[in-house]
Amino acid sequence: MVSLKDIAQRCGVSTATVSKALNGQPDIGEETRSRILRIADELGYMANASARALKTKRSYNIGVLFVDPMHGGLAHEFFSTVLDSIRSEAERHGYDLTFINRGLGQRETSYLQHCRYRGVDGVVIASADFTDPMVTELVQSDLPVATIDHVFNDRIAVLSDNLMGMDALVRFVAAKGHRKIALIHGESTSVTVGRLTGFHRACEELGIQIPDKWIRQGVFHDPKSCGAITRELLADPERPTCIFFPDDYSCIGGLNAIHDAGLRVPEDISAVGYDGIPLSRIVSPVLPGSSSRSSIRAPRSSTA
């Protein structure tokens, strides 16, 4: 590998000069600089990230915590999209992304230790069990941490605007004529709270009365539980005309339940999933609400 020393030799200057020239320091003569740049290019020089990180304490590397309780990990559609956004944004700023695991081979390490080992400049907690002590340890450390769709005390958080998203969704289906709307929401998280708030607010403002029995707690990404709840809702004599699901994935469980009940979508009943992952735009009928939640487009962020 070609190093600063090689360039220095070829140019007849010291490595310090080369380093400064390459980093745009002001105390280098113009012609010396251009000569160094040319030679560096000729030799195909690439800095050594390790050496640089060792000296400067900055790795230009961001750790990503991405554990999915369900098996399938990265296949989680919504977060995969988010991760891709993070990646391209990081790239624009000269950062790379490294996955943070627990454990390095044999050694079991905490997430925080792993971060220190790799010397990441910060961590994005994209998807994780926020009650895990190791996660809270990480959050409470001095490392810059950003969380997705979860708020920790005074740390940066990128949030989907669930309140506005749900608000828009309600107005959308209301505009289609729906008045009998059922809401299956996920577990009690800040995401759910936002959506519930948006739901109630929009219904109230639109003058729509929703009986409590139509607001049910399901499980995120669980077609089975959401399907079961759907069956119960369909058994109701004054059946809702539209059912909201916590996400597009669980929505599929609902669609199956509807199908099994001999009902057709959208003629007999409408089903709406939240998220708007690419897939959902293809499923017939197209799930509305796709535009209401789009990765990091319009985050509400609070700064540490």
Partner DNA sequence: CCTTTTTACTTAATCGTTTTCGTGATCTCA
Partner DNA sequence: TGAGATCACGAAAACGATTAAGTAAAAAGG
**What residues line the site for DNA (CB under 7 A)?**
1, 3-5, 12-17, 19-20, 22-23, 27-33, 45-48, 51-52, 54-56
DSSP 35-60: HHHHHHHHHT----HHHHHHHHS---
Nearer to a second copy by C-beta: 114 or 199? 114
CA angle 132, 135, 136 (to 5 degrees): 90
30 interacts with, out of DNA, a second copy, none, CB within 5 to 8 A per kind: DNA
Which residues in this chain contact a second copy in the complex, by CB under 8 A?
A: 1, 44, 46-51, 53-54, 59-61, 72-77, 80-81, 83-84, 87-88, 91-94, 96-101, 103-107, 109, 113, 116-119, 223, 249, 252-253, 255-256, 259-260, 277-279, 282-284
- Shortest reach from residue 33's CB to DNA, in Å: 7
Nearer to a second copy by C-beta: 218 or 223? 223
303 interacts with, out of a second copy, DNA, none, CB within 5 to 8 A per kind: none
Displacement of CA 33 from its chain's centroid (Å): 42
DSSP 61-100: EEEEEE--SSTTGGG-HHHHHHHHHHHHHHHHTT-EEEE-
- Rg of the Cα trace of the chain? 26
14 interacts with, out of a second copy, DNA, none, CB within 5 to 8 A per kind: DNA
Amino acid residing at 49: A
Nearer to DNA by C-beta: 1 or 175? 1
Nearer to DNA by C-beta: 16 or 304? 16
3 interacts with, out of a second copy, DNA, none, CB within 5 to 8 A per kind: DNA
Contact (CB, 8 A) for 241 and 233? no
Closest CA to 275 of 253, 239, 299, 244: 244
Nearer to a second copy by C-beta: 10 or 118? 118
- Shortest reach from residue 286's CB to DNA, in Å: 51
- Shortest reach from residue 125's CB to a second copy, in Å: 16
Alpha-carbon distance of 231 to 258, in angstroms, equals: 7
Beta strand 300-302 with 156-159: parallel, antiparallel or unpaired? antiparallel
- Shortest reach from residue 280's CB to DNA, in Å: 46
- Shortest reach from residue 62's CB to DNA, in Å: 19
- Shortest reach from residue 39's CB to a second copy, in Å: 16
- Shortest reach from residue 87's CB to a second copy, in Å: 6
17 interacts with, out of DNA, a second copy, none, CB within 5 to 8 A per kind: DNA
Task: Give the number of other Cβ atoms within 10 Å of residue 32's Cβ.
Answer: 16
Alpha-carbon distance of 225 to 125, in angstroms, equals: 27
Residue 101: left if φ>0, alpha if ψ -120 to 50, beta else—which one?
Answer: beta
Alpha-carbon distance of 216 to 197, in angstroms, equals: 14
End-to-end CA distance of the chain: 41
Nearer to a second copy by C-beta: 78 or 214? 78
116 interacts with, out of DNA, a second copy, none, CB within 5 to 8 A per kind: a second copy
Nearer to DNA by C-beta: 4 or 174? 4
- Shortest reach from residue 123's CB to a second copy, in Å: 13
- What proportions of the chain, in percent to the nearest 5, are helix, strand and coil? 45, 15, 40
